[in-house]
Structure 1
Amino acid sequence: MRTLAILLSALALLLAPQTTSAEDRKPNFVFFLVDDLGWTDLGCYGSSFYETPNVDKLAASGLKFTNAYAACQVCSPTRASIMTGRYPTRTGITDYIGAAQPERWNRKTKMLPAPYEMQLAHDETTIAELLKQNGYATFFAGKWHLGGEQYWPEHQGFDVNQGGIDRGGPYGGKKYFSPYGNPRLKDGPDGEHLPDRLATETVKFITEHQDEPFLAYLSFYSVHTPLMSREDLKQKYQQKKETLEHGEIWGQEGERKVRLVQEHAIYAGMVDAMDQAVGKVLNGIDQLGLTKDTVVIFMSDNGGLSTSEGHPTSNLPLRAGKGWIYEGGIREPMIVRWPGTTKAGTETSQYVSSVDFFPTMLQIAGIEVPKNLTIDGMSFAPVLEGKEIDRGAIYWHYPHYGNQGGSPTSAIREGDWKLIEFYEDGHLELYNIAEDIGEQNDLAAKKPDLAEKMHAKLKAWRKETGAKMPTHRKDA
C-alpha cells in the first residue's frame, strides 16, 4: 500500500500544471517608439508648451537618458537598427524607404546619393525573432516602414501585426482617423483616433498574454505628418498659444528657415494624444499587476521636424532637426524603466545609440547574442543598474539628401567630441558636445590633430561596415 501511495503521489506531481515562479519568469518588454518626436518635445525634457503627463510620470519612475541617439536622422534606418542591433551601413537601409534611388534622382544637387536597400532582409535576425525563439509572445502595432508586404512584421518575428505596412505615415483613408485604409488594421468606428486605437490593441495583446513573457512593440505613426489633431486638443493648445509671450519665432539653418519656438497647436495636440496613448498602455500594465515584471522603453526614431513640412516644432537648444546630422536631427528623448533595477526619477548623461537596444534587451532577458551574429550595439544594462560604461565611438553615415535640408554627411561621437564630414566639399566640423550642445563653435581648425584622428576612425568604420558613398555629378 505504501508503494502504491508513493507511485500515486509521483504521478500527481507529473500531471500537475507546471507554473513558472515570479523569480524564474523572464521580464516582459513594452517598447514605445515615437515617430519624429524631438528631444525637447516632452515636459520632462523641457517643453513648456506640449503637455505630456504620462511620459513625464514614466520618467519619474525610471531612468532618463540625456545623450541618447538615433542611428540616423531619418526613420527607416533607425528602425532597422533597433530591430537588428546593426548600423544602417550594415543593413543597407541608409535612407527612408521610398526615397528616390540614384537612377531616379532629379534634384539639382552637387552629388548623386548612394543606393540603399528598400527592405529589411529576411536574413537579418531581429530582436523579435530571438525573443520568440526563447518563449516570448511578440506583438507589433503602428508604423513599420521596412519593406513591402513580404517583409512586414509578421515575417520578421512578430506573432501579431496591427497596422505595420510599407507606408511611412498614415496615408490611407482618413489618415489619423478611421476609416484608416490600412490592410493590417481593421477600421474602427468612424472618427476613431489612430494613437488611441493602437494603444487599445496593445493592451488587448498584453491582457491575452499576461501569463507568459511578451514583447509589445508600439511604434506610433504619431507625430509624423500629416499634421492632424483631435479638434478638442487643437482648441486646447490654440487657447494656450494665445497666452504665450515669446521672441522671434523663426531662425535660419543654411537655406532653410528653422522654428525657434514651440507653439504649433495642431502638433501639440498630436504630442498630447501620443502621451494619452502611452498612459493607456501603462495603466493597462498596472491594472493587470504586471508593472514589476515589465521593462518599459520609450524612444524616438529621429529628431523633431523643424526645417520643413510645416516646421511644427523647435529642437532648441539643439541645432537643426530631422534630416540633419546636427544634434537636433539625431539626439532623442529616451526613458527606460526596469523595476527593481532602475532608480526612480534619475537621469544619466551616458551616451548610447539605437543599435544598443538589441544586446541590452537580450541581456535583460538572460539570452546570449548568437555567436554567428555581427552586431554593432553594446548593452547599456549596466547603466540601468547605476554604473558607467565605456561606450566608445558611435557612428552615423547618411549618403543622401534629406527632404528637410540636410546634405550627405558622416559623423562620429567619442566622449565629448563629435566630428562631422560633409561629403559635398569634404570639409570637417568638430564640436565639444558637452560644452557646446548647440554646435555653434566649430573647433576643427583649432584642434587639427584631434579632427584628423577622429576622421581616420570614421573612414575606417565606413570601410569595415561596407558603407556606400554618394558620388560627385559630372554635370553639377
Structure 2
Amino acid sequence: MNLQRTLMLGGFAAAALTGQQAAAQKRPNMVVILADDCSWHDIGCYGAVNNRTPHIDSLARAGMRFTNAWNSVSTSVPTRHCLYTGMYPIRNGGHYNLSAIREGVETMPVRLARLGYRVGLAGKWHIHPKEAFPFERVPGFAVNCLTKDPSHTMKGVEEFISRNREEPFCLVVASVNPHVPWTGGDPSKFDLGKLVLPPHFVDTPQTRKSYAAYLAEIDLLDREVGDVVRALRERELLDDTLVIFLSEQGTQLTGAKWTNWNAGVHAAMIARWDGRIRPGRTTDAIVQYEDILPTLVALAGGSPDREMDGRSIAPLLEGRSDRHRKYAFHLHDNYPSGPPYPIRAAGDGRYRLIWNLTPDQRMIAKNMENELWLKSWKATDTEHAKFIVGRWYHRPEFELYDTAADPWELTNLAGKKEYARIQARLFRALKKWMRGQGDTGIGADTEQNKPANRPAQKNVRP
C-alpha cells in the first residue's frame, strides 16, 4: 500500500511538474508601447478626424480597444511611476512631476525578473530614482523627450527580442512622440485651413500651426508601433506576445496635460494577443494604468500582492469578464512645476467630478507660459477665447461633467439640483480613495515636493 501510495504521489508530482513546465512555456512575451503627451482623440480608431494612424488602428482590429482607460496623473513622470509600480501616485511617492518613488517600492523590472523575464526599456526613462528601475537599456529610441530628432532605429529592439527564445521577455518601448518641441515628421502634409480643432482649443493661426506640428509627430509614433509589430512578426514572435499600446496623457496644448480634465487623464489603450484576445473587441470596462503591472505579473505566473493598487485585467483580455473597476481616480499636484494647485477627481465611466482644492488660487504651469499658441489665445478677443483661457487659470471648487453628452467638459453641472446625488456619490468615493491612500490633499502639494526639500520615506500602506 505504501509503495502504491508512493508511486501515485510520484505520478502526481511528475504531472504537476509537467503542467508547470507547460505553463512556463505558455507564458507570453510582453511589449508595452507608450506614447508621450498624445491625446486619445488624435488616434484614428478613437475618432481622429485630421490624421491617420494605420499601424495603431491595425493593432486595434487584431485585438481589443479600451474606451474607459485612464491614467491617474497627466504628467509624464508620475504616469510612468504608476505604470511601473502598479501603485497609485501618493502611495508610490512619485505623485508630482520630477518626483521619485518611495524607498522599498518594487517596480516592473524587479518583479518580472524574479519570475524569469528579461526586462528592457527602449526610449524615454523619466523615472526616479533610476536604481529602483533596473531595466536593461535597449538602444535605438530617443531618451530625451526634448530632442529635436525624435527618429528611431530598430536594431536594439530586434536584438533584444531575438536574443534567447527559451527566456520570455518584457520590453517597454517608450516613445518621445508627440512631446514638444514638435520638430519631427512632416507638418506640411496638413492643410492648416482644413484642420478640425477640438472645441477646447482657441482657433488662431498659431494654434493651427502648432497642432499640425504635433499631429506630424503622431505619424512618427504610428510608424514606431508598426516597426515594433513588424519586428515581432518577422521573428515569428507575434503569436506568443501580448502587445499593449498606451497614449499616456494628452497634448500640452491647454486643456489636457497638467489637468484632471477628460482630455488629460483619458487614455487610448489597445491590447493584442493572438489566440488569447478575440480580434476586433471593444470594452467600456474602467481600467487604470496601475492595472498593467499586476496583469503582467499574473500572466508571467506570479501572484500580484496587496502592495499594488492595481488588479489584473487578464479576465477582460481573455473574455472571462466585461467589468473591472467602479471608479477611476486622478490627482494633480502642481509644485514644483508651478505654484501649488492640488486637484483630485473621480469618474464612473460617464460622470466625472473634479475637486479643485484651492479655487481661490491661480493655476500656473510654468512650462506653458511662453508657448506662442497660448499667447495667441490670450490675445484673442472672443467670448470663446475668454472662456477657454479663463477656465485654465481660474476654476471653481467643483466641476461635474457628463462625458457622454459633453466629452470636452465645457458645461459644468456641479451645484445643479438634478445632479446633486451624482455629485455627492462621486465625492464620497473620492474622499474614501484619498483616505485609503493617505492623501492629505492640500498638504500633498507644497514646497516639500521640491526634490531638494523632500525627505526620504519608506512605503507604508495606510
Shift of 1:329: 0.6
Shift of 1:353: 0.7
**RCO higher in structure (CA 8 A, sep ≥6):** 1
Corresponding residue number in structure 2 for 1:414: 348
Q: Output one character per residue of 1:20-78: Cα deviation in whole Å (capped at 9) or x when no partner.
A: 66983310001101110111222222223323221111111111111111111111111
Aligned length: 387
1:196 and 2:145 matched: no
Q: Distance in 1 between matches of 2:201 and 2:339?
A: 11
* 5+ long unaligned stretches in structure 2: 1-19, 360-395, 447-462
Structure 1 pair 290/259, CA: closer, same or farther in 2 (3 Å)? farther
8 Å contact from structure 2 (residues 33, 175) kept in 1: yes
Corresponding residue number in structure 2 for 1:160: 137
Identify the structure with the greater helix proportion: 2
Q: Distance in 1 between matches of 2:145 and 2:412?
A: 39
Specify which of 217, 225, 250 is matched with residue 303 of structure 1: 250
Specify which of 236, 240, 265 is matched with residue 289 of structure 1: 236
8 Å contact from structure 1 (residues 251, 258) kept in 2: no
8 Å contact from structure 1 (residues 142, 163) kept in 2: yes
8 Å contact from structure 1 (residues 195, 220) kept in 2: no
- The residue type paired with residue 391 of structure 1 is R
Shift of 1:257: 8.7
- The residue type paired with residue 399 of structure 2 is E
Q: Distance in 2 between matches of 1:42 and 1:406?
A: 32
1:383 and 2:330 matched: no
Structure 1 pair 258/67, CA: closer, same or farther in 2 (3 Å)? farther
Q: Distance in 1 between matches of 2:156 and 2:25?
A: 28
Shift of 1:163: 8.1
Shift of 1:282: 0.7
Shift of 1:357: 0.6
Corresponding residue number in structure 1 for 2:100: 119
Shift of 1:414: 2.6
Corresponding residue number in structure 1 for 2:280: 345
Aligned ranges 1:268-287 → 2 under 5 Å: 268-287=215-234
SS at match of 1:264: helix
Corresponding residue number in structure 1 for 2:212: 265
Structure 1 pair 378/238, CA: closer, same or farther in 2 (3 Å)? same
- The residue type paired with residue 59 of structure 2 is L
8 Å contact from structure 2 (residues 244, 270) kept in 1: yes
- The residue type paired with residue 301 of structure 2 is G
Q: Distance in 2 between matches of 1:324 and 1:439?
A: 12
Structure 1 pair 53/431, CA: closer, same or farther in 2 (3 Å)? same
Q: Distance in 1 between matches of 2:403 and 2:216?
A: 32
Q: Distance in 2 between matches of 1:274 and 1:451?
A: 38
Shift of 1:269: 2.4
Corresponding residue number in structure 2 for 1:466: 438
- The residue type paired with residue 336 of structure 1 is A
Q: Output one character per residue of 1:362-386: Cα deviation in whole Å (capped at 9) or x when no partner.
A: 222231113xx42211222222123
Specify which of 159, 165, 168 is matched with residue 213 of structure 1: 168
Shift of 1:214: 0.3
Percent identity, please.
28
Q: Distance in 1 between matches of 2:101 and 2:421?
A: 39
- The residue type paired with residue 138 of structure 1 is V
Q: Distance in 2 between matches of 1:96 and 1:38?
A: 19
8 Å contact from structure 2 (residues 286, 323) kept in 1: no
Aligned ranges 1:73-88 → 2 under 5 Å: 73-88=74-89
1:134 and 2:115 matched: yes
In the superposition, the TM-score normalised over structure 1's length comes to 0.73
Aligned ranges 1:175-190 → 2 under 5 Å: 175-177=147-149
Q: Distance in 2 between matches of 1:464 and 1:363?
A: 24
RMSD of the TM alignment (CA)?
A: 3.2
Q: Distance in 2 between matches of 1:22 and 1:280?
A: 29
- The residue type paired with residue 276 of structure 2 is T
- The residue type paired with residue 253 of structure 2 is S
Structure 1 pair 75/263, CA: closer, same or farther in 2 (3 Å)? closer
- The residue type paired with residue 245 of structure 1 is K
- After TM superposition, the structure 1 stretch with the greater mean CA deviation from structure 2, 125-134 or 446-455, is 446-455
